Chain A
Amino acid sequence: MYVAVKGGERAIDNAHAFLAEERRGDPAVPELSVAQIREQMTLAVNRVMAEGSLYDPDLAALAIKQARGDLIEAIFLIRAYRTTLPRFGASRPVDTGAMACERRISATFKDAPGGQVLGPTFDYTHRLLDFKLLAEGEAPVAPTAAPRRELTPHITEFLNKDGMIEVEVQSDVTPPDLTREPMELPADRALRLQSLTRGDEGFLLGLAYSTQRGYARNHAFVGELRIGTCSVEMEIPELGFAVEIGELTLTECETVNQFKGTKTEPAQFTRGYGLVFGQTERKAIAMALVDRALRWKELGEDDSGAPAQDEEFVLMHADNIQATGFLEHIKLPHYVDFQSELELVRKLRASAADALREAAE
């Protein structure tokens, strides 16, 4: 005799206990501390902060530990926590021109004020496994130099001065807030950039790559890529002036893209923009390329039908928490809807068989 399946509750509790045990791994191996993850898995921490939209390296490291290293799961933990936090207000716009740069490169000029600063990059490492790390060797001490005192100017400003690149329209309008209002399409650029900066790195990478291969190609040069710390200032109403409340590491990418112009309007380069929490340069470059591709309409370009030009396609599918939730929900029971389809297909097959029989008679 069939007994209706019971015990979902106990199964869930047991699954959670099993998960906790698996997360810890072999107890004979020392446990990872959150501080170790924060300090030694920095780029994972940065990705979790960027896509989780919460700048807190300790919480991001905790989320990575809890998620067994599954970064999308960690991002999810951060997002779910973030949404419960009260809003005290908004900071003043962060001035990336005042960034204390750790890395700053330009692909468009051989040299410029502030120079080319490689910083802690994988770029020119040979991708050979370093077996010395197996032995947990001490890291070599890197040579240091005195920090630069002056501001490091944005490279695109030099093009701007000559009118060689489009001028960004200044605006003091409060931008829409993706996390507090439903996404309304068509979206303005501020909303698109918000969506892209928290979007899935892999998704943006794929889209950006597709533009390079000809799906809405926009000839991007990395005008400047800078990584470093910026201070965050907040206007305190009781004080009547802004005070510094903290510091962020940011990655900013400005691309110089294909020019436009007509017989009457002189040719000018156009821009793409990427700004992401932490050292996250793959994401920032991808963001700038996708931003530029999405600007086709305002720049009077043709819609080539490429995915990266399609605002609704990009914005509605960039969020990995939405995507993974819906993708994985198909694991949930669907007995009822599947049953209704079973009945339907049986009925359709029966009537098709009847029709065949009648035709034969």
Chain B
Amino acid sequence: MTDYTFAYLDEQTKRMIRRALLKAVAIPGYQVPFASREMPMPYGWGTGGVQVTAACLTPEDVLKVIDQGADDTTNAVSIRKFFQRTAGVETTEHTAEATLIQTRHRIPETPLTEAQILVYQVPIPEPLRFLEPREVETRRMHALEDYGLMHVKLYEDIARHGAIATAYAYPVKVEGRYVMDPSPIPKFDNPKLSDSPALQLFGAGREQRIYALPPYTTVVSLDFEDHPFAPTKADHACAICGADGSYLDEVIIDDAGGRMFVCSDTDFCASRRTATGEPADA
């Protein structure tokens, strides 16, 4: 029971996933069906990302795993441990040192490089799913580039709320063709999707889909001329490192409902404190 292959998946499965990845890279933003395997962690907990990571890892890779921007959230710890055990690769918490980063819900603040792969865990890969529940229908809509429903939804948001009422998993258009779900990252992160030097891979295990953004792909967040897309964050600076341009978590600190705002990207925050001479674990 201990002799699993490198990075757990058997070689045929990895080959099957790599083929799907190649197709995904060739058609940016298109959802490629793949024969997702049952993993030893639950569906919905990153099985798609884990399979993509397993298919991409080499023994020389340095792996970083984050959830909500943080390396030490429970599920990030669990996935990192999984690859430590099954692949024996080196791991890091530093974005700049990693060659492969698996993430859930965030893009690191530190700009990525051509030497890096970012793997996203995706719960619902279909951006049209909550407008049209049927897969048979949504695949047809993508094939015909029939995205009217999405624009109507965004318009109705504006009519009802005065603004587009989508704050995360904000839909994007890839190279002027496919509308894509960027996974539930806050829309603050959307601009980082476009023209990224890093290869971005998206894995949805339960839904059996893989999609990709090759390096330097143009990714545009959907909007209207008179209601342009605007990335937003809490209107504060980080209470720990003072950064005023990073995405912030809101933490309730006392019984009276007092709040503080801190960087969601824990490595970014710690590196800034180290740079200013403060102990990182203060």
Contacts and interface: CB of A to CB of B under 8 A. Distances in A.
Contacts of A182: 33-36, 208
Nearest to A337: B168
Interface string A285-303: 0000000000000000000
A327 B37 CA distance: 19
Given A11-B74, A82-B38, A182-B36, A336 B186 contact: yes
Contact of A329 (B44, B233, B282): B44
Contacts of A355: 162
Contacts of A121: none
Most buried by B among A83, A184, A324, A341: A83
A212 interface: no
A326 interface: yes
A276 to B, nearest CB: 19
Interface residues of B, number: 67
B131 interface: no
B76 A4 contact: no
Contacts of B248: 339
Contacts, number: 153
Contacts of A344: 163, 165, 167, 232
A4 B165 contact: no
B238 to A, nearest CB: 11
Given A182-B208, A325-B45, A347-B163, A336 B39 contact: no
A3 to B, nearest CB: 7
B168 A336 contact: yes
Contact of B105 (A4, A322, A324, A334): A334
B58 interface: no
B206 interface: yes
Interface string B106-117: 100000000000
A336 B247 contact: yes
A79 B163 contact: no
A8 interface: yes
B45 A329 contact: yes
Contact of B251 (A2, A83, A186, A347): A2
B181 interface: no
A325 B43 CA distance: 4
A58 interface: no
Most buried by A among B44, B186, B206, B232: B44
A2 B188 CA distance: 24
Given A181-B35, A336-B106, A329 B42 contact: yes
Interface in A70-87: 76, 79-80, 82-84, 86
Interface in B251-282: 251, 253, 260, 262, 264, 266, 269, 281-282
Contact of B42 (A76, A186, A336, A348): A76
Nearest to B186: A340
Contacts of B161: 348
B135 A316 contact: yes
Most buried by A among B33, B35, B281: B35
Interface in A30-45: none
A322 B206 contact: yes
Given A182-B208, A339-B248, A8 B163 contact: no
Given A2-B260, A7-B72, A348-B165, A343 B233 contact: yes
A140 to B, nearest CB: 40
Contacts of B68: 333-336
Contact of B73 (A8, A181, A324, A326): A8
A2 B263 CA distance: 12
A236 interface: no
Interface of B: 4, 8, 10, 33-40, 42-45, 47, 67-70, 72-78, 81, 104-106, 123, 134-136, 161-163, 165, 167-169, 184-188, 206, 208, 232-234, 239-240, 247-251, 253, 260, 262, 264, 266, 269, 281-282
26 contacts: A2-B251, A2-B253, A7-B72, A9-B72, A12-B78, A182-B35, A183-B208, A185-B136, A321-B38, A324-B42, A325-B43, A326-B43, A326-B44, A329-B42, A329-B123, A332-B67, A332-B75, A333-B68, A333-B74, A336-B68, A339-B247, A339-B250, A340-B167, A344-B232, A348-B162, A351-B162
